[in-house]
């Protein structure tokens, strides 16, 4: 089983990538007192997280402390686990944004076990026990840290491969199979 984490006041909260555009791996890093923990996430997750955080901040007053630039990714980036689901809340008394990230759960289901699945009771969820064992990381960050994170995420998302002018799909240095080309 992989470890769970609780970061009550991290001093390191950032996102970064390793690899060239088109082959990049995205990482979320959180740390306190020089101890850095890294999680792997997908580009689409980063985009959705960033967009949601923008919405959270839109409903709050401007931070009194100006944001510092988000720190860079500390390498080597070795992920503790891969992020599956992400929950977000605002803790008003502490003036912190709470992120709860859940480990992605990989379930191996073989085709020849289909007969066993047919015999399951309709009220029984075969994946409930596995999902309950998934690790979590609770991260409480300040609004200035969130602002810096959003800016960094925007830079990373914009620095990907250029889009094809015909189909809008990512284009690479060697081109791509454009569905609009005949």
Q: Is the pLDDT of residue 171 over 60?
A: yes
Q: Calculate ∠ Cα 54-136-158, nearest 5°.
A: 35
pLDDT tens column, 19-68: 988 889 999 999 999 899 999 999 999 999 999 999 999 999 888 888 88
Tokens of 151: 């800016």
Mean pLDDT value across residues 6-16: 96
pLDDT on residue 75: 93
pLDDT tens column, 70-129: 999 999 999 999 999 999 999 999 999 999 999 998 766 665 555 554 444 444 444 444
178: exposed, middle or buried (C-beta count within 10 Å: 0-12, 13-18, 19+)? middle
- Cα distances from 128 to residues 85, 105, 119, in angstroms, run 15, 11, 17
- Block residue for tokens 């740390």: 31
* Dihedral angle, C-alpha 46, 47, 50, 56, nearest 10 °: -120
Tokens of 101: 């990230």
Domains of the chain (ranges plus CATH)? 5-106+135-158 (3.30.2450)
- Is the sign of the CA dihedral 56, 57, 63, 66 positive or negative? positive
pLDDT on residue 141: 97
Tokens of 166: 């015909």
pLDDT tens column, 125-166: 444 444 567 899 999 999 999 999 999 999 999 987 777 888
pLDDT on residue 132: 63
Euclidean distance between CA atoms 98 and 50, whole angstroms: 14
Euclidean distance between CA atoms 38 and 3, whole angstroms: 12
pLDDT on residue 123: 47
pLDDT on residue 166: 84
């Amino acid at each position: 089983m992989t470890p769970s984490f609780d970061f009550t006041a991290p001093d390191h909260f950032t996102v970064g990538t390793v690899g060239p555009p088109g082959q990049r791996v995205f990482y979320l890093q959180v740390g306190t007192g020089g101890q850095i923990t890294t999680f792997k996430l997908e580009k689409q997750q980063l985009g959705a997280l960033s967009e949601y955080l923008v919405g959270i901040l839109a409903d709050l007053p401007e931070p009194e402390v100006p944001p510092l630039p988000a720190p860079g990714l500390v390498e080597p980036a070795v992920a503790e686990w891969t992020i599956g689901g992400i929950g977000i809340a605002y803790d008003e008394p502490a003036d912190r944004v709470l992120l709860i990230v859940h480990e992605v759960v990989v379930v191996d289901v073989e085709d020849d076990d289909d007969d066993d699945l047919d015999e399951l009771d309709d009220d029984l969820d075969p994946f409930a026990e596995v999902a309950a064992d998934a690790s979590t990381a609770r991260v409480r960050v300040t609004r200035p840290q969130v602002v810096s994170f959003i800016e960094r995420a925007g830079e990373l998302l914009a620095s990907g491969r250029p889009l094809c002018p015909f189909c809008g799909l990512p284009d690479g240095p060697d081109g791509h199979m454009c569905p609009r080309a005949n």
